[in-house]
Amino acid sequence: MMRLNASIAGLIYRWSRFSNKALIVVFILLVLPALLFAAPHRSDVAVRDGSGKIKRSAAAKYEFKKSHPCPATGRSRGACPGYVIDHIKPLKRGGPDRPSNMQWQTKSAAKAKDRLE
């Protein structure tokens, strides 16, 4: 009985050593390249147009204007003289193009902010 237990222990030991090596090989060949070269998740990447500029959502801008009228005119449509729609967290830094990330900003403040970004 003692000999049987020793041989089972030897098999388990050999199998565990093999499986560790196999896991390492599988990790190196399959998992590591997938982690290193995987494309970022679609929501993490700003969609760009043909010239490389970040595409803005017209629908999101419309929704923002509808719920936040222009400070200068009080209108929900059309131009807003002296103001621009600003993204609180910039799109190029991963900010969403949603009304919750937008605010009205004076043109002079926008120019100053753009110099810092």
CA distances for 4 relative to 63, 75, 107, angstroms: 75, 88, 84
Quick one: how far is CA 100 from the chain centroid?
A: 16
Tens digits of residue pLDDT in 96-117:
899 999 999 999 998 988 887 7
Domain spans in the chain, listed from the N-terminal domain onward:
1-39, 46-116
Helices and strands in the chain: count of H runs, count of E runs = 4, 2
Q: Residue range 15-28: average pLDDT?
A: 62
CA-nearest of 95, 17, 107 to 70 is 107
Does the global pTM surpass 0.85?
A: no
DSSP 1-22: -HHHHHHHHHHHHHHHHHHHHH
Does residue 24 surpass a pLDDT of 80?
A: no
